[in-house]
Amino acid sequence: MAKTNTIFSCQSCGYQAPKWLGRCPDCGSWNSFVEEVFQKERSIKKGLELLKPQPPVPICDIEVTDEHRVQVGIAEFDRVLGGGIAKGSLILIGGDPGIGKSTLLLQAMEMVASRGHTVLYVSGEESARQTRMRAERLGVASKSLYVAAETSLETILEEVKKLRPTLLVIDSIQTIFTTEIDSAPGSISQVRECAGRLMQLSKGTGVSTFLIGHVTKEGAIAGPRLLEHIVDTVIYFEGERGHAYRILRAVKNRYGSTNEIGVFEMTDSGLKEVSNPSEIFLAERPLNASGSTVVTSLEGTRPILVELQALVSLTNFAVPRRTTIGVDHNRVSLLVAVLEKKVGLNLIGQDIFVNVAGGVKIDEPAVDLGIITAVASSFLDKPVDPKTVIIGEIGLTGEIRGVAQAELRVGEAAKLGFTRCIVPSGNKLSQRIDGIEIVPVGTVREAMEVMF
Ligand code: TYD
Ligand code: MG
């Protein structure tokens, strides 16, 4: 029988099949198979040969060397990384095209290089001159920040050996290729092989490496599963188009917590860190307008106050619309049902739109009561007191459940000048904290009576 020389691999998870498939049986993505030249897993074999057998040792006998980290000097970035860049770590940064990944890394690398560390910034997408032009706009001019416009992995490895940098940036992993593999740059085998070799490099020489990864239409880093296994840290850089705010979010971190976020603002001279995001998210809030409420969302160790807006209006359709931006659609449907059943508002025949101001995404049940209040406020056309912050998760029977870290949230509200806080009675907060009035509520009905 003739031997097949090509194989079809799923560009999203790396699953391989001898023939083309419309849908990947492993990850379920559609039309993701691409024909590639068949490669034996050379690097794995090579890697295995290099490994010396190591007998198991008791965990208490393992020597712990002081974990060495390089501080970036941008507080928002350092926090997301877990307190700086760990030596020899491999960090993947993903995000939509044009969101500011190259800008962020160029600025961060400048901060590191200005303190005397050698940094190599490899750009496979822009020429050295283009990078220089961007650098001028950003005020980046360190002598120890080296730039190379290179796409060949072998050349990059050579350069790293010569230059011995503390930090290496690969912009982006999809443009780099190794001559050992015949597939096109950006294909799953190339990305996997290059990332694997760069990992061996960073573990072997201690150079910390940033990989920039493109995001597919569906919002995943191309070949995400493969890369997420290989790298130590996965960070997403996200933001809404048309908004200046960008959020850096860790989704995997072997060297720190994954709940932290960093907030930046894109200006004409690059990214500026936003150390008090609540103030900015609330800056354009209309006071005394119906349908607007302020809620707290806990991002890692930091509570952030954001404005929720709802608009309820008579529908022109047989089935009314329920549109949400920034909060989960199903969650809103559920909350609207609770509002109908437990408070008795007649929302059938009403279009309902819910939006989080500032292009933020909130994925936390603690904003439930805020959503319900915004919807009710718009429906009744009665504004909520603008100095009130609303906290609470809602259950299907209309009960209000306690939330995590209530004191922290109330503290942040007090800091920003709010005078009243609606909280779940289950949280048992004392009546006055930092000059803010605490109003405990147990059910949705009770909360509506307090507010309207
Ligand atoms: P970029 O870092 O090239 O994005 P990525 O590498 O994620 O594709 O960012 C490009 C966008 O950022 C571009 O649309 C212009 C904008 N930008 C500014 O607004 N100000 C600046 O100082 C810079 C450098 C870019
Ligand atoms: Mg770029």
CA of 101 to the centre of ligand 1 (A): 8
State how far the Cα of 46 lies from the Cα of 63, in Å rounded to an integer: 28
Q: Give exposure, 128-165, as e/b (b: 16+ Cβ within 10 Å).
A: eeebeebbeeeebebebbbbbbbbebeebbebbeeeeb
Ligand 1 contacts CB of residue 269 (under 6 A): yes
Question: 388 in a domain, yes or no?
Answer: yes
Whether residues 294 and 224 fall in one domain: no
pLDDT surpassing 60 at residue 42: no
* The ligand 1 atom nearest the CA atom of 266: 19
Domain boundaries, position 252:
71-275
pLDDT at site 298: 85
- Minimum CA distance residue for ligand 1 atom 11: 98
Whether residues 286 and 424 fall in one domain: yes
Ligand 1 contacts CB of residue 383 (under 6 A): no
Whether residues 245 and 301 fall in one domain: no
Query: Phi/psi of residue 323, each to 5°?
Result: -115, 130
Ligand nearest to the CA of 246: 1
Whether residues 338 and 190 fall in one domain: no
Give the number of residues written for the chain: 452
- Minimum CA distance residue for ligand 1 atom 10: 98
CA of 372 to the centre of ligand 2 (A): 40
Ligand 1 contacts CB of residue 98 (under 6 A): yes
CA distances from 206 to 85, 90, 202, 351 (A): 12, 10, 5, 57
Whether residues 34 and 89 fall in one domain: no
Query: Could you report the per-residue pLDDT of 251-304, keeping only the tens digit for each?
Result: 888 888 777 788 899 998 889 988 888 888 888 888 889 999 999 988 777 788
Query: Could you report the per-residue pLDDT of 411-421, keeping only the tens digit for each?
Result: 888 888 899 99
Whether residues 78 and 184 fall in one domain: yes
Place of tokens 């936390």: 364
Ligand 1 contacts CB of residue 270 (under 6 A): yes
**Would you call 89 helix, strand, or coil by DSSP?**
coil
pLDDT surpassing 60 at residue 4: no
CA of 197 to the centre of ligand 1 (A): 29
Ligand nearest to the CA of 123: 2
Query: Could you report the per-residue pLDDT of 296-344, keeping only the tens digit for each?
Result: 988 777 788 999 999 999 999 999 999 999 999 999 999 999 999 999 9
pLDDT at site 27: 81
Ligand 1 contacts CB of residue 107 (under 6 A): no
Q: Which of 18-27, 46-55, 289-298, 359-368 has the lowest mean pLDDT?
A: 46-55
Quote the pTM value: 0.76
pLDDT surpassing 80 at residue 382: yes
pLDDT at site 53: 72
CA of 198 to the centre of ligand 2 (A): 19
CB 419 within 8 Å of CB 387: yes
Question: 423 in a domain, yes or no?
Answer: yes
Domain ends where: 275, 297, 313?
275
- Minimum CA distance residue for ligand 1 atom 18: 268
**Would you call 108 helix, strand, or coil by DSSP?**
helix
